[in-house]
Amino acid sequence: MPGTDPLESVRIVRGELGEPNLPHLVELPGRGVGSDAVGRTAGMLEDLYVDVQSFGWRLVDHPGFDHRRAVSALSTDLGVQADVIGAEERPGDELKIQLRGPFSLAANLHLHNGERALSDHGARRDLAQSLASGAARHVADVLRTSGRPRLTVVVEEPELADVLAGTIPTASGYRSLRSIPRHEVLRAWSEMVEALRGAGATTILLAPGVGPTGVPEACDDVASAGADGVCLPVTALDTRGWERGAGLVEAGLGLWLGLLDPGKTPPGVVKAVERVLRPWRQLGLGDASLGALTLLPTTGFADTSPEALRKVLTTLSQTVDALNQVLAEA
């Protein structure tokens, strides 16, 4: 969300995305160090700590100012959200949170020597285990402070395609790190999903991102990892990407589609509906399966004005209503 005031942001989210939509715990990267997506997730790590260097976030032995700042910002957001929910007459049952996945985190955290944690097998393993444990603790904190019984967790892996392709640059930038095998990705994802589920998460989604060659093949491992669905941006989906999404729907999983770009003027509802229905029907998916869909923006709103933010959310809500009508008639 834009700005630095968590109270204002929580009120906007709760007002615009209340039931039957899905409100989320806000992130305010405009506050600076520790409120960015990587620092925020790094602050959740169990028995691992971080600080900021000229090259980015670095793993360290003891918590310092940067780490405490990340932890404090997250704690503030939870407290503000709890206060707003507590004052609502009908707060609903649903809430969503999001965090970086183990491989995107490893690609953005550095070891003492400055190299990315992704470069070291042992570091990747320790980081994945620490994240699974810390994320589970975070889920428990969210459930306790919010009082909401149903929590959706989105595990974001925006760097996954590059991790699998071996195109993440080394710290020097002169070469690329070796690609990570899919079986290692599946194992870490499975551990993460198990930990989140054990902590009380009711729905777990993986957001693998889309690389230059389309949706990563690891997207097919979502079901094997125990997740409930996948998040994919419509604007980046080619035919093969849509086929992967359709395969997940046919397997009984949910498909979350990033439909509208917050940085652009949203299209009319008719055009937005067509972006979904045309490929959906071309793939042979019946209108009766539209219930597997959840619509969301393609990215966050950090660089979006409050007015533009509301326009995107209004268009999304109207598009959902239109698709629900199609579903009801199926």
Q: What is the DSSP string of 97-160?
A: EEEE-HHHHHHHEE-TTSSBGGG-HHHHHHHHHHHHHHHHHHHHHHHHHH--SEEEEEEE-TTH
Rg (CA), the chain: 19
Instruction: Please check whether residue 315 lies inside any domain of the structure.
Output: yes
Asked if 185 contacts 160 with a C-beta cutoff of 8 angstroms, the reply is: yes
Distance between CA 196 and CA 154 in Å, rounded?
Answer: 10
- pLDDT score at 193: 98
| Secondary structure letter of residue 321 according to DSSP | H
Instruction: Please check whether residue 314 lies inside any domain of the structure.
Output: yes
Instruction: Please check whether residue 283 lies inside any domain of the structure.
Output: yes
Residue 47: what are its φ and ψ, rounded to 5°?
A: 65, 20
**Total domains, the chain:** 1
Instruction: Please check whether residue 329 lies inside any domain of the structure.
Output: yes
- pLDDT score at 307: 86
Instruction: Please check whether residue 330 lies inside any domain of the structure.
Output: yes
Asked if 320 contacts 291 with a C-beta cutoff of 8 angstroms, the reply is: no
Which ranges of 148-268 does DSSP label H, i.e. alpha helix?
160-165, 182-198, 239-250
Burial of 207 (0-12, 13-18, 19+ CB in 10 A): buried
Asked if 1 contacts 26 with a C-beta cutoff of 8 angstroms, the reply is: yes
Instruction: Please check whether residue 138 lies inside any domain of the structure.
Output: no
- pLDDT score at 174: 87
Chunked in runs of 10, what are the mean pLDDT values of the chain (330 residues)? 94 90 96 96 98 95 96 98 96 97 97 96 98 98 97 96 93 91 96 98 93 78 93 86 90 94 92 95 92 93 88 93 94
- pLDDT score at 326: 95
Tokens representing 82? 């709890």
Residue ranges making up the domain that contains 288: 250-330
Instruction: Please check whether residue 321 lies inside any domain of the structure.
Output: yes
Beta strand 254-260 pairing with 109-110: unpaired
